[in-house]
């Protein structure tokens, strides 16, 4: 095996959080090095002997002290040989979701600062991180249609209207409340709780919860989750 390969392997993560009816991405501020003070996606070089997945979890802990709720590989960026000006680095990028219970960012140990940045207001970032975020944004939009990932952005118990607003916000389109509700409930993996939630004025909302086991069972029986909008 040739031994002079000089290419580094990094992982980067686009972590989405949803609150106040808006979608946010986690950014960290570099503490050291050439990119010091710049805001970037959390991530870093993979350690020797470490799996890619573990590297992502480690970096998220080290840089933001955050626990994620859903993780999947997004894409590997390596067609721009100079995407990192220090060395040839390929980035195995991941896509993660955090629910509101885990939104609090701890004072990071490996980053100078950490913040949630509104997806509609992402500044120009170093490397190809804007491209990575765009790719992730497309992915989340696509997945909302055919995978139950919206629930990973909401608390365990949520009013139905929150789910509806989440879809409307992320997909950037209006949706018909009645048809949406009918369709989602028809699958049978959403359960009604024995609680209601009051928020200021307006009628209190019935709380619902997503049942992942029911989902898996239904899927095994041939259910195909898919939701479209007029």
Partner DNA sequence: TCAAAAGTGTTTCGCCTACACCCATGT
Partner DNA sequence: ACATGGGTGTAGGCGAAACACTTTTGA
Binding site for a second copy (CB under 8 A): 1-2, 4-9, 33, 45-53, 73, 75-76, 78-81, 86-88, 90, 92
Separation of alpha carbons 87 and 156, rounded Å: 43
Min separation Cβ 185 and DNA, Å? 8
Question: What residues from 77 to 106 belong to the interface with DNA (CB under 7 A)?
Answer: none
| CB-neighbour burial class of residue 144 (10 A; exposed 0-12, middle 13-18, buried 19+) | middle
Q: Which stretch binds DNA (CB under 7 A): 21-29, 86-94, 174-182, 210-218?
A: 174-182
Nearer to DNA, 178 or 220 (CB): 178
Min separation Cβ 143 and a second copy, Å? 13
Min separation Cβ 188 and DNA, Å? 13
Nearer to a second copy, 122 or 223 (CB): 223
Nearer to a second copy, 137 or 210 (CB): 137
Question: What residues from 186 to 225 belong to the interface with DNA (CB under 7 A)?
Answer: 196, 198-206
DSSP string, the chain: -------EEEEEEEEEEEETTEEEEEEEE--SSTTTT-EE-SEEEPPTT--HHHHHHHHHHHHH----SEEEEEEEE-SSTTSSSSS-EEEEEEEEEE-GGG-PPP--SSSSEEEEEEGGG----STTHHHHHHHHHHHHHHHHHHS--GGGGS-SEEEHHHHHHHHHHHHTS---HHHHHHHHHHHS-EEEEEEEE--SSSPPEEEEEE-HHHHHHHHHTT--------
Q: Which stretch binds DNA (CB under 7 A): 34-42, 93-101, 143-151, 173-181?
A: 173-181
Min separation Cβ 152 and a second copy, Å? 21
Nearer to a second copy, 80 or 195 (CB): 80
The residues pairing with 157 across neighbouring beta strands, listed in sequence order, are 209
Nearer to DNA, 143 or 181 (CB): 181
Nearer to a second copy, 80 or 174 (CB): 80
Residues that bind DNA (CB under 7 A): 159-161, 176-179, 181-183, 196, 198-206, 228-230
């Amino acid at each position: 095996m040739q031994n002079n390969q000089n290419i580094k392997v990094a992982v980067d993560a686009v972590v989405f959080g949803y609150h106040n009816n808006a979608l946010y991405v986690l950014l960290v501020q570099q503490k050291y090095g050439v990119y010091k003070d710049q805001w970037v996606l959390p991530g870093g070089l993979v350690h020797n002997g470490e799996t890619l997945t573990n590297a992502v979890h480690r970096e998220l802990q080290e840089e933001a002290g955050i626990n994620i709720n859903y993780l999947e590989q997004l894409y590997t960026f390596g067609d721009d040989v100079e995407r990192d000006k220090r060395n040839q680095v390929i980035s195995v990028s991941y896509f993660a979701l955090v629910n509101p219970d885990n939104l609090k960012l701890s004072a990071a140990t490996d980053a100078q600062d950490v913040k949630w940045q509104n997806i509609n207001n992402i500044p120009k970032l170093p490397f190809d991180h804007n491209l990575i975020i765009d790719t992730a944004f497309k992915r989340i939009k696509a997945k909302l249609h055919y995978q139950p990932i919206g629930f990973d952005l909401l608390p365990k118990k949520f009013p139905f209207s929150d789910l509806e607003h989440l879809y409307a916000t992320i997909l950037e389109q209006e949706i018909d409340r009645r048809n949406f509700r009918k369709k989602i409930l028809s699958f049978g993996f959403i359960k009604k709780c024995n609680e209601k939630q009051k928020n200021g004025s307006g009628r209190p909302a019935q709380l619902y919860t997503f049942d992942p086991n029911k989902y898996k069972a239904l899927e095994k029986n041939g259910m195909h989750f898919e939701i479209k909008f007029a």
